[in-house]
């Protein structure tokens, strides 16, 4: 009688082994990506970024870059499109996980001290662009300054308050360039990369030039920021370092 008992135990061990093997061979399902709310500006500043009514579809270099980061890090981003002032309020109220673009120098006195900023994502130069024949004219000759709708002309607040200049808006960079080329405004404000992109497409590569008397050229930067998730900013910095070739390819795609 003891022999059947040994056989029975061997069979049981064999069945357990098969069950364990079947369990371990099951495909492992990837963890669901963590979802974050990314605040973005309701501004048309293509090719860097654009999100405007009626659909508020976020597009451009920034969208592709953030989507690539999300894919690499198993994240899910929901892009929350808001006017610039409402965006700042929602951010400080804790309604957003991330914001792009941001910069430590922008409205620094109104921000919490514990915002985490990424390494610079994109360098740009803010410029005032004029017709070539107006380059070198004194500042007081420029009274009508054009800005893309949604941007605040804070560098000219004193001139505005004193009545020396009037601000006119266009819905997008293309419209602003048309206004400057037609002489409807004295100067147009935008990043040089944005201006070059649209002037080239309009066949007017040399149609407007920089007026440093109005606004001296200086390098500035776009960063990703977070109040609630500094660890995500560290992951983004590591992504920028690790994916330098892919990031450069995106910049080339959008001529930045």
115 and 40 share one domain: yes
Query: pLDDT digit string (tens) for 131-157?
Result: 999 999 999 999 999 999 989 898 999
Give ∠ CA 175-181-186 in degrees, rounded to 5: 95
Separation CA 136–CA 192 (nearest Å): 18
Domain around 232: 34-123+221-253
Instruction: Report which of 93, 104, 125, 108 is spatially closest to residue 217, judged by C-alpha positions.
Output: 125
98 and 158 share one domain: no
Q: Give the CATH number for residue 100.
A: 3.40.190.10
Question: Does 11 map to a domain?
Answer: no
109 and 182 share one domain: no
206 and 83 share one domain: no
Number of domains in the chain: 2
Give the CA distances from residue 36 to residues 97, 98, 143, 226, 235, in Å, rounded to whole numbers and listed in that order. Answer: 6, 8, 43, 11, 14
Question: Does 1 map to a domain?
Answer: no
Question: Does 103 map to a domain?
Answer: yes
Query: pLDDT digit string (tens) for 234-254?
Result: 999 999 999 999 999 999 999
69 and 148 share one domain: no
The reply to whether omega before 54 is within 30° of 0 (cis) is yes
Question: Does 16 map to a domain?
Answer: no
119 and 163 share one domain: no
104 and 146 share one domain: no
Query: pLDDT digit string (tens) for 167-184?
Result: 999 999 999 999 999 999
Looking at residue 7, its pLDDT comes to 38
Looking at residue 13, its pLDDT comes to 47
114 and 81 share one domain: yes
62 and 92 share one domain: yes
Query: pLDDT digit string (tens) for 2-56?
Result: 444 443 443 444 443 433 344 444 444 556 778 999 999 999 999 999 999 999 9
Question: Does 182 map to a domain?
Answer: yes
Mean pLDDT (the chain) is: 89
Burial 197-206 (b: 16+ CB within 10 A, else e): bbbeeeeeee
Query: pLDDT digit string (tens) for 64-114?
Result: 999 999 999 999 999 999 999 999 999 999 999 999 999 999 888 888 888
Question: Does 57 map to a domain?
Answer: yes
134 and 206 share one domain: yes
41 and 117 share one domain: yes
Three-class DSSP labels, the chain = CHHHHHHHHHHHHHHHHHHHHHHHCCCCCCCCCEEEEEEEECCEECCCEECCCCCCCCECHHHHHHHHHHHHHCEEEEEEEECHHHHHHHHHCCCCCEEEEECCCCCHHHCCCCCEECCCCEEEEEEEEECHHHCCCCHHHCCEEEEECCCCCHHHHHHHHCCCCEEEEECCHHHHHHHHHCCCCCEEEEEHHHHHHHHHHCCCCCCCEECCCCCCCCEEEEEEEECCCHHHHHHHHHHHHHCHHHHHHHHHHCCC
Query: pLDDT digit string (tens) for 183-213?
Result: 999 999 999 999 999 999 999 999 999 999 9
The pair of structure tokens assigned to 237 is 């910095």
Looking at residue 33, its pLDDT comes to 77
The residue ranking higher by pLDDT, 216 or 29, is: 216
71 and 96 share one domain: yes
Looking at residue 99, its pLDDT comes to 98
Question: Does 4 map to a domain?
Answer: no
Question: Does 192 map to a domain?
Answer: yes
Cα-Cα-Cα-Cα dihedral sign, residues 186, 191, 194, 197:
positive
């Amino acid at each position: 009688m003891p022999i059947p008992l040994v056989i029975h135990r061997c069979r049981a061990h064999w069945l357990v082994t098969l069950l364990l093997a079947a369990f371990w061979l099951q495909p492992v399902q990837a963890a669901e990506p963590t979802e974050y709310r990314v605040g973005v500006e309701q501004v048309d500043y293509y090719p860097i970024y654009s999100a405007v009514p009626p659909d508020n579809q976020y597009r451009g270099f920034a969208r592709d870059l953030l989507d690539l980061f999300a894919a690499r890090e198993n994240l899910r981003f929901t892009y929350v499109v808001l006017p610039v002032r409402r965006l700042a309020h929602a951010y400080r109220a804790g309604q957003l996980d991330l914001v792009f673009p941001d910069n430590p120098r922008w409205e620094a006195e109104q921000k919490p001290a514990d915002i985490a900023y990424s390494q610079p994502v994109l360098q740009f130069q803010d410029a005032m662009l004029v017709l070539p024949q107006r380059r070198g004219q004194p500042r007081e000759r420029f009274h009508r300054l054009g800005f893309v709708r949604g941007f605040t002309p804070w560098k000219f607040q004193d001139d505005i308050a004193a009545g020396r200049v009037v601000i006119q808006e266009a819905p997008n960079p293309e419209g602003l360039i048309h206004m400057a080329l037609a002489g409807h405004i004295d100067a147009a404000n935008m990043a040089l990369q944005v201006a070059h992109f649209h002037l080239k497409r309009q066949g007017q590569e040399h149609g407007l030039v920089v007026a440093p008397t109005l606004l001296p050229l200086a390098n500035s930067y776009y960063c990703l920021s977070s109040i609630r998730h500094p660890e995500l900013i560290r992951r983004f910095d590591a992504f920028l370092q690790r994916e330098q070739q892919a990031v450069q390819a995106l910049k080339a795609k959008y001529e930045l």
